[in-house]
Amino acid sequence: MKYILILLGVIVLWAVFVYNRLISLRNRSIEAWADIEVQLKRRYDLIPNLVNTVKGYATHESSAFENVTKARSMAMGATGPTTAHAQAENMLTGALKSIFALAEAYPDLKANQNFLALQNELSDTENKIQAARRFYNTNVRDLNTKIESFPSNIVAKTFSFSQKEFFDLADNDAAQGPVEVKF
């Protein structure tokens, strides 16, 4: 009887440990997603300033500005780390590339200090988004692995822990390739 109680105590302690670990992993993934949202917000705030700066030099390139504005609206409207959100962010990245490609055709724009500052800010923000995305995906990987692994999957199923979706911006080949600009 004594051994059964000890075994039961060990099992309960193990279940508490696994449950607390799952809670920790879930909270870390929530925190990591919040980091991504902060950087995306910063990106969304920089884009209108960038577009307005470029508009002054390239007034006849209205389709590029419309694409950026539309892509920004779609990205801002997307919620959570979903495939649709990742696709909206990919569209925005592609649209931004076209704005930067316009700078190559306008030497005065390339020399404009405001444009250069905004370009550097946006580049820095893109790097921060990538770092935050990697951090988020690492936390999601750890949580999903714990949820799927035996025997912790028993505790995860008992307490209704669910897997989270990765936030992968690399799904869209168009966003990774070079931007074609026609004049």
Range of the domain at 115: 2-176
Residue 171 has pLDDT above 50, yes or no: no
Residue 181 in any domain: the answer is no
- How much is the mean pLDDT over the chain? 85
Residue 170 in any domain: the answer is yes
Residue 17 in any domain: the answer is yes
CATH of the domain at 83: 1.20.1440.20
Looking at the structure of the chain, the number of domains it has is 1
The predicted pLDDT at position 11 comes to 94
Residue 87 in any domain: the answer is yes
Provide DSSP, 112-179. -HHHHHHHHHHHHHHHHHHHHHHHHHHHHHHHHHHHHSTTHHHHHHHTT--------GGG-HHHHSPP
The predicted pLDDT at position 16 comes to 96
Residue 167 in any domain: the answer is yes
Task: Tell me the residue length of the chain.
Answer: 183
- Residue range 27-42, pLDDT digits in tens: 999 999 999 999 999 9
Residue 104 in any domain: the answer is yes
Residues 10-28 have a mean pLDDT of: 96
Q: Which residue has the higher pLDDT, 58 or 153?
A: 153
Residue 183 in any domain: the answer is no
- Residue range 82-132, pLDDT digits in tens: 888 888 898 898 888 888 887 777 777 777 788 888 888 988 999 999 999
Query: In whole angstroms, what is the distance from residue 69 CA to residue 176 CA?
Result: 20
Residue 182 has pLDDT above 60, yes or no: no
The predicted pLDDT at position 170 comes to 53
Q: Are 141 and 167 in contact (CB under 8 A)?
A: no
Residue 21 in any domain: the answer is yes
